Structure 1
Amino acid sequence: MKVVAGSASLGLGEKVARELGFDFVRPHVERFPDGELYVRIDDDLDDEVLLIQTTHPNKKIIELFLLQDALREMGVKRIITVVPYFGYSRQDKIFRPGEAISARVMARHIGMNSDYFIGMDLHSENVLQWFDIPTMHLHATKPIAEWLKSKGVDMVISPDKGGYKRARYVANEMDVEFDYLEKTRLSGTEVIIKPKNLDADGKTVGIVDDIISTGGTIARAAEQLREQGAKRIYAVCTHGLFIGRAMENMKRVNDFAATDTIESVHSKITVASVIAKAIGKLSSMQ
């Protein structure tokens, strides 16, 4: 097997190939003056290929589809498509009449030229139901826990109840306490946000989320935790978009990190070992 990575995941692809001891293939990708993409794979390939490409921003989605088609044209019989960050996953149901279910659209198109799909910390596991091929859902729990350990974190917090399981998994990996922030309305104008069950006073707290976009949620959580006496505050996510006022908002914490599912200067954590381990298990099952 060889590892092919699109331009959104070159660094991660190289790390995964190194972990597995596989050859790494970097496709030729260029953009025409009208904005259209051109891809070409010059290397000889095996019957089975591991293709890694994050589908963010939009142009990386088209690149993934073109790479899949190129692999089929080259005679690759089995394509394992790894999408470290699955763009459009947050629209996984109809909220208002007339909407598209964008996560379903993405799943169907990715599955057209894949034989196996692997996602990482999907916003909702509902995405997997729309694939007509075998799927695997991976989590960045272990590498995130290792980063938080290096910061001396002794309490893990989810910014909301929806992320409680994620906080629990990370905390269990670290053997520390965990909780989520709960909003309590005291009056028509006064609201407090604090951990549901635990006391943050004197703690070094790690806020764990799946996605950091503008950082507004992290900033509000950090403010409340500081008011309650948290000693130091760190924020970490699997998928770091960091758009808008994100950098201003992230100043509210002592340090922050994202994984390399979306590659940027903030990708201080790699998920390469998680993907490599999954591929190793998949290969042993064949």
Structure 2
Amino acid sequence: MLIVPSSSSLKLAKSVAEISGSTLSDVERKRFPDGEMYVRILSETLNMDVAVLGNTRTDSDILEMLLLLNAAREGGAKRVIAVIPYFGYARQHMRYKDGEPVSSRVITQALDNSSDEIICVEIHDEQTLSFSSKPFRNLSAERSMTDHFMNHVPDYVLSPDDGGYDRAKKLAESIGTRAAYIFKKRIDPKTVEMKLPDIDFSGRTILLVDDIISTGGTIIKAIKLLRQAGASRISVAAVHGVFARDSDRIISSEVDELAVCDTIDGPYSTISIAGTIAGSLER
């Protein structure tokens, strides 16, 4: 297996290659004077199984992935796998207003053109999986989360809303503790009311867990509620740390620990998903 890293996932690609015993390709990258992107896979791809690993978080990330996948295909690869740790644009998996595109379908169909299979990690909405004509696997980060928190088990694993309760419950069961969720009610387009469950959080250790932290507004409100309720230690974890508007700086200043998976590289990406991805490539 040849691992070809996108610039969005260099560290993770290296870890996946080391764990799986695969070859990590070098990639030449540059920008032309007019701003156009150039990429070149520097390893031989003829008759190889090739996994191109990178995110679709930004417009530039998407273009780089498509160019690398096409380069592998044009280079005669036997099989091309698009490995996308963080599948950006997955929140636009349906048309909410007239005139909008279904963004995740557009990206999925573009990926289909040069890949034989797509692998992602905890995509925001599984509706996107149905947009592909190729095998599309959605990996769970549960094992990685469990390994990280097994040695410092909180009194409660808490989801910031009922939609994420299943994730919190599975993690709680894996590490041997209890789960609950915060009640969230939208009052109007700009106002959300949050209420803690009927639990005595005084002196308790809490792990708040979510799939994605972007602006962090919901998480920050949850932290404030738990502090007011007397929680002694609060940790925050997520699969994908997008951290828009420097929300990681704000959140980290309010909690005892902030940890996210390394699907997106960053200072708080301390939960490794590399083993899970490596295992999926061996199938």
> Is the TM value for this pair above 0.5?
yes
Distance 1:124 1:32 in 2: 36
SS in 2 for 1:19: helix
In the other structure, the counterpart of 1:87 is 88
Answer yes or no: is the 8 Å Cα contact 2:153–2:176 preserved in 1: no
Aligned partner letter, 2:88: G
Q: Deviations over 1:72-118 (max 9, x none)?
A: 11101210111000010001111111111101111111111110111
> Is residue 116 of structure 2 the alignment partner of residue 115 of structure 1?
yes
SS in 2 for 1:29: strand
* Coordinate RMSD, CA, aligned: 1.9
- Structure 1 unaligned spans of 5+: none
Q: What pairs up with 1:145-164 in 2 under 5 angstroms?
A: 145-164=146-165
- Displacement, 1:55? 1.2
In the other structure, the counterpart of 2:223 is 222
In the other structure, the counterpart of 1:105 is 106
SS in 1 for 2:29: strand
Distance 2:4 2:211 in 1: 26
Distance 2:223 2:199 in 1: 15
Normalising by structure 1, what TM-score? 0.91
Aligned partner letter, 2:255: V
In the other structure, the counterpart of 1:140 is 141
Normalising by structure 2, what TM-score? 0.92
- Displacement, 1:232? 0.4
User: Cα 1:29–1:200, aligned 2, differ >3 Å: closer, same or farther?
Assistant: same
In the other structure, the counterpart of 1:202 is 203
2:254 aligned residue (243, 252, 264)? 252
User: Cα 1:227–1:143, aligned 2, differ >3 Å: closer, same or farther?
Assistant: same
User: Cα 1:15–1:93, aligned 2, differ >3 Å: closer, same or farther?
Assistant: same
Distance 1:184 1:37 in 2: 44
Identity %: 38
In the other structure, the counterpart of 1:261 is 263
SS in 1 for 2:24: strand
> Is residue 24 of structure 2 the alignment partner of residue 24 of structure 1?
yes
Answer yes or no: is the 8 Å Cα contact 2:53–2:84 preserved in 1: yes
Higher alpha-carbon deviation: 266-275 or 32-41:
32-41
Aligned partner letter, 2:266: S
Aligned length: 277
- Displacement, 1:26? 2.3
Aligned partner letter, 1:149: M
Distance 1:183 1:238 in 2: 21
In the other structure, the counterpart of 1:47 is 48
Answer yes or no: is the 8 Å Cα contact 1:233–1:254 preserved in 2: yes
- Displacement, 1:278? 1.6
Aligned partner letter, 2:218: T
User: Cα 1:165–1:42, aligned 2, differ >3 Å: closer, same or farther?
Assistant: same
Answer yes or no: is the 8 Å Cα contact 2:194–2:222 preserved in 1: no
- Displacement, 1:203? 1.6
- Displacement, 1:266? 1.7
Higher alpha-carbon deviation: 158-167 or 245-254:
245-254
Answer yes or no: is the 8 Å Cα contact 2:17–2:24 preserved in 1: yes
Answer yes or no: is the 8 Å Cα contact 1:160–1:182 preserved in 2: yes
